[in-house]
Each structure stands twice: as structure tokens, then as C-alpha cells.
Amino acid sequence: MSDTFELSTDQLADQATELERLSTALRAADYDTRVLHPSDDIPLPTLLVALGVDDDGRDRTMAISVLPFADDDLDATALMQFYVLLPFELVDATRNDVLAATAHVNAAMAIGHFAARGDELYYRYVLAADKDGQVNAALIVELVQLIDFHQQHFGDYLEGILTDELSLQVLPEVIAEAD
């Protein structure tokens, strides 16, 4: 696959239209949404989905976008990314334990994964869809509901490791008991 990409105005418009359609379905399922159009800060149309606040009153927001690839890279497949930046930072004192905890947590989840970049922890899932068709809106609503649960529930385990409220040694048992 190519390292660079350029999308035409028509391709960007098609992506925005698809995200607007999915936004309508998510609003019908009681999610607050907003479609951001490309700008200097955001190069692709992006659907923001408010997931509400966590137990500490911090906003959680999901960003949904279509990953850009040159037309000749993927002939039949579009990749839609679901991304949630967790509302707490990875600190050096617990970095190794939190990163080890992501392996335990990722193994317990149905879809997606947690990862770190710098001091940010995030949840990410990529859906492969038919490039020439519309993504099933009901499927997206159910995926958002599932991801909403995953990033909150399993993200809480990672925050517990980060704040020393949960130890890496007991995490596997805690996850198993929750099943």
C-alpha cells in the first residue's frame, strides 16, 4: 500500500455523505453526533459520537472516519476506523504495567484493541466494508454500542492499573470474574 494518499473532492464528499447518513442512524439511537468536514487540523471527514461521561465526569468521544487508501490499493474494501482517546494519560511510573495490562485486556475483548502512543491511551477498531456499498447503519449503531461498552469497561481496568487501584497480578482474575 502506498505511504501517501490524495483523495479527490468527490471522494471526500462521498465519505462525508456516508458519515452524515450514519450520524442520522446514531442520533436515532440517542447518540449526540457531529460530522466534521476536512480542514487544516482534520484532513478527512470525521463523525464524532458523544459516548457520555465516565464515573469521573470526563467526556468520552468516538471519532469515526474512513481510512484513506489510493484507489489501486484496495479495490473492493473500505476501512472504517472507530477511535476513542481515553480521558487519562499514561505516566512513566506505571507505563510498563499499563502496557502489559493492555495485552490481558485486549485478549478478553470481542473486537478492537487498546494501545498507547506517547502519553495517550486509546481504543481502536477497524471495520472492513464493501467499498461500493453503504455500510449497514444498524450494524454501525450496534458496533458503537459495543465499542462504547469496551472502551468504558476495559478502559477502567487500564486506569485502575495506572492509578494503582488494581494490580497487574490480579488483573487476569478480575477480567475472568467479569465474564
Assign 69 a pLDDT band (cuts: 50, 70, 90): low
Task: Give the tens place of pLDDT for each residue, 1-30.
Answer: 344 457 778 878 888 989 999 999 999 999
- Whether the predicted pLDDT of 73 surpasses 70: no
Give the pLDDT score at 2. 40
Assign 178 a pLDDT band (cuts: 50, 70, 90): confident
- Whether the predicted pLDDT of 177 surpasses 80: yes
The strand pair at 46-53 and 59-66 is best described as antiparallel
The strand pair at 46-53 and 77-89 is best described as unpaired
pTM for the whole structure: 0.89
Cβ atoms of residues 153 and 86 within 8 Å: no
